[in-house]
Homo-oligomer: A and B are copies of this chain.
């Protein structure tokens, strides 16, 4: 087979001029910010109508809505209302705001979400973790006991910031930020939060009147045991009865998933039974506290209470942003999960805008932070909801409750609420999932544990940040140490594969074939150069006979998706040091991005087109040819070459 020095008989490598900056920039921006190609719809007929439907999804599904769908949504809406009332009151206690605000928060936000949201299964409401987080952060600055109205106003302000932050993320299409809250982080954070929330409930169960505002395990246990004189056995007995009832309904659901509605209405039953019991038994006299006065009437406006005092701005901003990210992560994750199950698409950026709008409007109408909670959305899904109409049904039910029934709930014993919260929390401790992480990926497990122990022993925001920090370090390590491997020829084929993975593969005498990892850039280029030289040294060490010393280095670039200036310079340095050791280098199959940079930086010119090949087979063939036909000019060349 006749082969000339430019390797013309091989498959041709494409040396076309690089695309213009505008082209590559547009393609990068699109990949980064618009990976889902949202504008594809607008190229059809009726772009205006399409755009409206795109930005306000209710216009898409409402015209097609019909009575048979409404039957499902109505039932689902009723079911989630029965959960929304007890959860609303309970989580409001967790956030340290008056219970009625929890009920308000299930009226306005679901309406807004129904208009702008793209998920069909999310049920809107307050969430335990974010409620506690807001309370913990705002209590640092203002205590509810000292100045209740200021505290509540700051909570509204934080909710406004959450809303603004969430909608900005959506508008600037920065859904990418939420991607950095990994599954492992969320599992650890949720389990840790569940534990500290359960611990908080010891206050209600034991009927304590004094407690700590800190959330970590040690402070809470200290608060519980240092106030032993306040412990009330009556409260504890009632609490344990409710807990047993609720856990039994959970058990029922687990045994028979069709009985999910039993556990769904159990909290409502608890609240009603507890209220009736409290009313007739005059429990306050026995040290069992009740919710207390609940005002009739719809959400009063709260826009005039928003507090932008520079003294409180840092804490409201911080509380708004951190709880906003957390709420987004929960809402988007649950939305995505159900979308996958039912085979439709939710748009992360649109969801953010919907969540943002509902929190902005919420902060004007006496609501605090809402999102799509796991538990409520799961009940909604199981109850067979078909569209976001179930949220509207829930909102209407809540409106009726607020207008006529609210005072009835004022007799609810706090201990019943504690039992409801604890039961909800048990489901969030996912030890099985943590064990699976441990088995499949130790680093993921560490990220999970950082969140878990950070939350339980330090505080919620510190735990979250520790875990995200570890994830980012991991992401940086991925790119700082891309895996390279040595390839060999798989027997009876023309394939070249990793020798460690396919131990039967044959090395080719005199050649070293390496597959490079991706990307090659400033943070790893020094590593890559040193690693390549180590491969060469090891190769020469293994085969000490003069015959097998490396004469050709073949670098497979097929997997390298990106390279930067530092990477190109490193390749040049590598080439220079290889030249001075009489090793020839071949570049195999660089991808389009890499090739363009190689041409622009003149690296390709300096190396020479004849060293570029489209496949490993071609390169091996060319190297074999040059080894047999070229006069050996390496007289003094020994196996102990000194690496640079």
Binding site for B on A (CB under 8 A): 11, 14, 21, 25, 28, 31-32, 35-37, 40, 175-176, 179-180, 182-184, 336, 339-340, 343-345, 348, 436-437, 439-444, 471-472, 475-483, 485, 490, 492-493, 495, 497-498, 500-502, 517-519, 521-524, 526-527, 530-531, 534, 537, 558-562, 564-566, 568-569, 573, 576-577, 580, 589, 591-593, 595, 597, 600-601, 614-615, 642-644
The answer to whether A644 and B343 touch across the interface, beta carbons within 8 angstroms, is: yes
B644 pairs with A592, CB closer than 8 A: no
Give the distance in Å from the alpha carbon of A345 to the alpha carbon of B600 in the complex. 29
In the bound complex, what is the Cα–Cα distance between A523 and B641 (angstroms)? 43
- On whether the beta carbons of A566 and B183 are closer than 8 Å, the reply is yes
Closest 8 CB pairs of A and B: A559-B559, A182-B522, A501-B592, A483-B561, A517-B561, A518-B518, A343-B644, A183-B566
CB pair A597 B498 closer than 8 Å: no
**Most chain B CB inside 10 Å of its own CB: which residue of A40, A475, A580, A614:** A475
Contact between A566 and B182 (Cβ–Cβ < 8 Å)?
yes
Q: How many whole Å from A522's CB to the nearest CB in chain B?
A: 4
A179 and B569 in contact, given A478-B562, A517-B561, A561-B518 (Cβ under 8 angstroms):
no
Please give, as numbers and ranges, the residues of chain B lying within 8 Å of A495 by CB-CB distance: 11, 614-615
Identical subunits present: 2
Asked whether A595 and B501 contact (CB < 8 A) given A182-B522, A442-B21, the answer is: yes
Q: Say whether B561 contacts A558, CB under 8 Å.
A: no
Q: Is the beta-carbon distance between A35 and B527 smaller than 8 angstroms?
A: yes
Select the residue from A443, A526, A576, A642 with max chain B CB neighbours within 10 A: A526
Which residues from B are CB-within-8-Å of A483? 31, 561-562, 591, 593
16 A-B residue pairs with CB within 8 Å: A11-B492, A28-B481, A32-B481, A182-B564, A183-B569, A340-B644, A345-B643, A437-B565, A439-B600, A440-B565, A440-B600, A478-B519, A482-B561, A483-B562, A493-B615, A498-B592
Q: Is the CB of B601 within 8 A of A343?
A: no
Q: CA–CA, A530 to B471, complex, Å?
A: 22
Query: A475 contacts which of B184, B479, B580 (Cβ < 8 Å)?
Result: B479
Asked, given contacts A179-B526, A343-B577, whether A597 binds B440 with beta carbons under 8 Å apart, the answer is yes
